[in-house]
Each structure stands twice: as C-alpha cells, then as structure tokens.
Structure 1
Amino acid sequence: MSSQPSEPDPEPRRTPGLLPGGSVPPGETPPESAQATSALSHEQRAGAHATKWAWLTLLAVVVLLVAGLFTYLAIALLV
C-alpha cells in the first residue's frame, strides 16, 4: 500500500491561504495562474477591420436611402 491519500484533491482545512468560504484572499494566487487563459484568446483576423467598416458603410447608405425616401414623401405631400 502507498502512503498517498486516495483523494487527489488537497484537504481544505490544511490548504494554506484558503478562506473559510473557499475563496482565496488577494495576493495568494500565484502569477502563473493569472495567465492560464492568455493562450486561449484568438487573434483578430486582418480582414475583420475592413469587414467592420464595410458593414458600417452599408448601414449608413441604407439609413440615408430611407431618410431620403421619407424626405421625398414629405415634399410630395406638401406640393
């Protein structure tokens, strides 16, 4: 038999820096842990910036066309 515990998780009462509710006080988290998800974020595509501006331009054109239609209708009603 080995002397290792059958439970791989640490004993909560013996874990240093652990508050009673299970949280960790500020300054107890090692610096390596804060960067654990930095590799998971994805890089933005080069074309994403141009695509954003294309959609904004298309939206502006549609808004101007609708505004022009309402202006035309308002003038047509007055004449």
Structure 2
Amino acid sequence: MSAPNPVSGPDPRRWVPPGETPPGESSTGSETGPYRPLSRGWGTAPLVLIWLVALVFALFFLAYAIILNLNV
C-alpha cells in the first residue's frame, strides 16, 4: 500500500494566464461603490421602547420579590 502523493503546488493543467482573471483583494475593499454618509445608528423610538420593556421587566420582578418576602 503506497501513500498518495501530496500536491506540492498549483496544478499546471488549471493554469490561467494573468489578465484573464479578476484582480485580487486590492479591488474589493470596503471603499468601493458610491459614497454614502454614515448613519447615526439607532433611532430614538426603538431605544425608548427597549428601555421601557426593560424597566417593566425589572419592576415586575422587584414587585414579585417583595410579595414573596412579605409572605414568608
């Protein structure tokens, strides 16, 4: 039983001459495309809604803990 020969380089049968392939990473940076100014991030309404849900959640468990403590 013989071990298979590892490939030690590019396959010469699949060689494509330069110029027939697109350029490498240098042309696909994040700066490509039209300029768009940066957005400011989250709007005020979603942040207020998240804070309100978190506040109601925290108040519910605080009241639950107080009720449990009074019943002991």
Q: What's the TM-score bracket when you normalise by the shorter of the two chains?
A: 0.3 to 0.5
TM-score of the pair, normalised by structure 2 = 0.47
TM-score, normalization by structure 1: 0.44
